Structure 1
Amino acid sequence: MRCSSYCTAENYNIDDFSRYLRTEGLDPKFYDNVIHVHKDHDTEDGSKSTGEIFYFTYGCIVFWNFSEEEELQYVQDLKPYEQNPLPDYIYEASHFVYGSETTINEEDDEIVLDSDDVLIKLSMAHGLSQSVKLDVFENSIEATIQNTRNLPAELAAKGKISLSRKKISQKIGALFAERNSINLHSDILDTPEFFWRRPRYEPYYHMASQYMDITTRLDILNRRLDVIHELYDILSNELKHAHSSRLEWVIILLIVSEVVMHILKDFLKWF
C-alpha cells in the first residue's frame, strides 16, 4: 500500500477548508494544527478500501492508502485554500504494510504498522510532512546560494563588487528575507505539541523523523543559513564601503571647491 506526502504551499486556510470538507459530506477531525479525514474509496481491482488523509496547516498533506491519481485530485481540490502556493509541489512516497511490529525497513523503503491506529499514522505523518517542508527550505536556500555564489569570488578577485547600490540593496533584502523566512518557520521542524499530551506516540514520530534524516538535514540547513548570513555580511560591508567612499569624494570635492574659491578671492581678486 502507498504512503505519500506533499508540500504545495506556505500555508493552508484550514478553517475555510474544513468547512468545504463538511459540504462534501466528510467529517474532518482536528488534532491541533492538523485535519484528519477518513475516506472510503474504490481500489483498482474494484474492491473497497479505507484511506487516511492528514492536512497540515503549514502547507503539507500526507496520504495513507490512496493511488497517485486520487492523491493528485485531492491536491487539486485544495488549491483554493492555499496561501502563497509553490510553483511546483514537492512530493515523496513510500510503501506501508501491516505486520506484528511497527517499524521502518529503510532498505526496502517500507513502513510496517502493527495496527490501523489513526494516531500512529498521524505520529508518523508529522515526520513525513516535516520532511517535504524541509525539502522546500533546502531548495529555496540552495537557489539563493547559487544566485549569489559569484559575489565572494568577485570581491576576492577585484576587491569590490561590480553592482550598483540599488542592486546590492536588493541582494541584501533577498538574503535577509530568505533567512528570516526560514527562522520564522523553524518551529515547524520541532517536535510537535501533539506529543506533549500523547507521549506514548512520540516514538513513532521519531521513527519517521529518523527515517527521513530530519536531524542531519536540519544541521545542513543551519550551515547553509550560516553561509547566507556570511553573504549578507559581505554585501552589507560592501554597501557601507561604497557609501563611505561616496562621502569621502563629497568631502574632497568640497575641500577642493573651498581652495579654488580662496585662490580666486585672495590671489586673483575676483571677489
Structure 2
Amino acid sequence: MSITVIAYHLEKRLDLSTIRGLFPKLSIQKREHTFILYEKENNVFIYIKDYGSIVFFNCNELYIIRVIHKILDNEINIKKLPYECFNLSISQTNNVDFGTIEVQQINSDVAHIICLNLAQSVALMNYVNKASDLHEKTLVYSKQLEDKGNFNLSRKKMRKFIGKTMNLKNNIAEDLFVFEAPEVAWNDKNLSLLNYKLRDELDVVKRHNGVVNSLNVIKENLDLFRDILNHQYSSMLEWIIIILILLEVIKMFF
C-alpha cells in the first residue's frame, strides 16, 4: 500500500477558529492553538498549521483542491504554491529516504509527526523564497554602490525593506520551533526516531539556519545603506545651516 503525503504553504497566516467552522463534519483528532489534525476517514488525515501550512495525508487531488479553495475562498492554481511531497508505505521499520517514508503502522500520532515535519519544511521553502527575493533586491543597490559610489534608494523605501526583513525574521522565530522535538515524540522511541529521520532528510535545521543567516546579511546591508543615507542627510542639513548663517551675515552688512 502506497500513500501520498503532500504539504502546501498557502502563503498567509490561517485563523484556525475560522477553519474549524469550515469543516464541522471532520473528526478532530488533535488540536492546539497552533494546529488542527483532522481525520476524514480511516488513515486519511488533514493537518493545518496556523502559519499557513496544510498537509494532506492520503487525500485525493480533487479533495485537496476543494479544501484549499474553501480555506482561501479563492480558486487558485495549487501547483503555484510551495509544496513538498512524499510517498508513504508500511514496513517493518521506520525509515525516510529520497521522497519515501516507511512506517510500521499508521495512526494519528504517526500522521502528526509526519505532517508536522512536512509543514515546517514547506513553510521554510516559502520563507527561503521570500528571503531570496529580498536578497536579490538589495543586491541591486549593492551593485549601484560598487559601480557609482552611490545608490538610488529613498529613506522610505529603505525603511520598508528593513520592515520586511524584520517581519520575516520574526515570523520564522515565532512559527518554526525546529530545535524542539514535538511533544508526541517525547515518550515513544519509534516516534522519536521517525521525527529525527524526517528532520534529517528534510534538512530542516540547516535550512532554518541558512535562511536566518541570509536575513542577517540582508539586514547588515540595509543598516549600511541606512547609515549612508543618514550621513548624506546630515551633510545636507549642515550645508543648509551654513547657507542660512551666511544669509544672516550678509543681511547684517547690507
Give the TM-score of the pair, scaled to structure 1. 0.81
Structure 1 segments of 4+ aligned residues over 4 angstroms from their partners:
191-194
* Residue in 1 that maps onto 2:31: 31
Equivalent in 94, 109, 112 of residue 102 of structure 2: 112
Q: Does 1:248 align with 2:238?
A: yes
Unaligned runs of 5+ in 1: 41-48, 265-271
* Residue in 2 that maps onto 1:60: 53
**1 or 2, which has the higher strand percentage?**
1
Rate the CA distance shift 1:20–1:194 in 2: closer, same or farther, 3 A: farther
Q: Does 1:223 align with 2:213?
A: yes
Q: Does 1:186 align with 2:176?
A: no
CA contact (8 A) 1:126 1:205 kept: no
> Can you list the C-alpha shifts for 1:103-128, whole angstroms capped at 9, x where unaligned?
1122xx21001001220121121111
Rate the CA distance shift 1:80–1:192 in 2: closer, same or farther, 3 A: farther
Distance 2:197 2:95 in 1: 8
CA contact (8 A) 2:36 2:48 kept: yes
Larger radius of gyration: 1
CA contact (8 A) 1:31 1:194 kept: no
Q: How many residues matched?
A: 245
Q: Does 1:98 align with 2:90?
A: yes
- Give the counterpart letter for 1:34 in structure 2: F
CA contact (8 A) 2:11 2:52 kept: yes
* Residue in 2 that maps onto 1:13: 15
- What fraction of aligned residue pairs are identical, expressed as a percent? 20
* Residue in 2 that maps onto 1:206: 196
Unaligned runs of 5+ in 2: none
Rate the CA distance shift 1:197–1:208 in 2: closer, same or farther, 3 A: closer
The CA RMSD measured in Å over matched residues stands at 2.4
Instruction: Give the C-alpha shift of residue 252 in structure 1.
Output: 1.8
Distance 2:73 2:181 in 1: 27
Q: Does 1:176 align with 2:163?
A: yes
Q: How does 1:38-187 map to 2 (within 5 A)?
A: 38-40=39-41, 50-80=43-73, 88-106=80-98, 109-163=99-153, 167-187=154-174
Instruction: Give the C-alpha shift of residue 176 in structure 1.
Output: 2.4
Give the TM-score of the pair, scaled to structure 2. 0.86
